[in-house]
A and B are shown apart, each in its own frame.
Chain A
Amino acid sequence: MIEAEKSFVIGAPIDSVWDYVRDIGKWASLLPGCRECAIIDEHNSRWTIKVGAGGLVKTVNVLVCVEKWDGPERVNFTYKLESEPVVGGGCYIASKAGPQATDVRLQLRVEGSGPMAPMWEAVCKPLFNPLAGAFTEKLKTEIEQYVGVPALPDADNSGSGSVMAVVVRWLRKLWLAVAGGNQSQSLRSQELLANKDKVMSEQNKQVVLKFINAMGSSDGATAATCLAQDAFTLAKGFGKFAGIRRYDTIVGTIDAFKQLVPTGLRPDIKSVTAESDRVVVEFEGNATTCDGKPYNNQYCMVFTLADGKIKQVNEYFCTILAEDVLWPLIEKMADAIPQS
């Protein structure tokens, strides 16, 4: 058996860390080489991983079983390679290190079985520690980025009667009405370092422009084709619009936006810069709201893509203007929709 243990501190409260790690799809997306994670049920998932070793690239399917979701302190899991006699497991142990800090320990093990067990372990050994190291490093970075700004509360668990919760509820309801709530549970992710060539940058640029145009014309369906299933937007700033929005909220917002702004945003693109997995777009809106006011905000959006899909958008725009012009309209509309 080969074992590894990694300890590190995440600069975020334990509950925020838990909010991130309780989604197994997120774990998969952090594992270098993980191409797909199909969620089977609450406990089981099947990961497709491409491992480069020994002069070849090998695709392995791994069945991961979370035996215990014991948040926010502990997750126990086991895994099994589908075609190779290799099994393993591990646990995630978190403890509060302070109001904004969480101690995390990751214990991992891998074990060969059958007559060739020593060979499987010999082959796995040099891969195991770097892989565990890369995984933990990304876990820390991603969580810190994820909780770096106040998170937009989820409609399901906000419990509070805050205005944000009202907005989210309104958007979600609209989205469900439009899309019928269908959402695949499979997500795709890819090594962050992959696809850095120019061709990819150009393709990424086209995806982003398609997304902005779809957003500008309130075409949620087209915008959705540009997004990874685990995509999120992160509106920077400190006003009411700041925060994270996930896939369904993003698409719902775009579809709903035409009710607020019947003209569409009418984006006038000023610059597009693409490099490796990032595309940065500066643009200005030229819109009129449903109550006839001009809404001409200025935007800079930083898109991160993987595998031809948008994974993350950091949005910078004037939140003061947005609050002044859009917020009263949203409040009025939310009040008009009966609670379900």
Chain B
Amino acid sequence: MQQFLNFINTLGRVMTRFFYATGDLAIFTTKAALACVQKPFYFKQLYDQLIEIGFYSLPVVALTTLFSGMVIAIQTYEAVSKFSAEGAVSMVVLVAVTRELAPVMAALMVAGRIGAAMAAEIGTMQVTEQIDALVTLNTNPFKYLIAPRIFAGILMMPILVLIGDVLGVCGGYMVGVYKMDFNATTYLINTWNYLKAMDIISGLTKAAVFGFIIALMGCYNGFRSKGGAQGVGQATTNAVVSASILILIFNYLLTEAFFNM
């Protein structure tokens, strides 16, 4: 009986913590969303974040998508060559890169780079009372710190993914043409013929959603960090882990919405 009561007690505590965290995140998201549409807008902060997320993440996203395209070309060739369907390589590379690989790989890379940096920066500001200082200086921290990061995440991720799409397809092209001896013109024509607007649109929509998730989780975890260096470290880890998990969950949900409904 006592063991059962202990189990109920633990379950209750875990559920209470879960619902508290969910509610807290919901309130934070609402405040952040409102801050994005209400004046004043801090354009300098927005510009800084656009550069940080878009420009400085470009190398890592470019390398990731390029090599992902190359790998998918090799693996597809290995699979389809058994059925003498080598011509499908360009199509599979195109679909895999634009629908899934570019948005997901780019988002995971940016989550590791930018989500962690946001959580660390805002977390440090929180534990050193800089956020309290903003309030005493008549500045809403949600408008000054959160809104520019969320805007920048939503705006820059689709651009990064679009570049990733091109580089991923180029990776497939390089492997196909230079390693598997496909005809370059035929490969490009096949790619162009298989290209559908929906593939690009779905990938870019996913990218915008992932950009929102990365910025939100980075800001939320940073904002809620407590204590000193350990608290900031914990916030950074939580930001990356929670953003990565949410990216994978939302990737499935959006794929269902775009291609199965």
Do A and B come together as binding partners?
A: no
Interface residues of B (CB under 8 A from A): none
Task: Show the binding face of A for B, using Cβ within 8 Å.
Answer: none
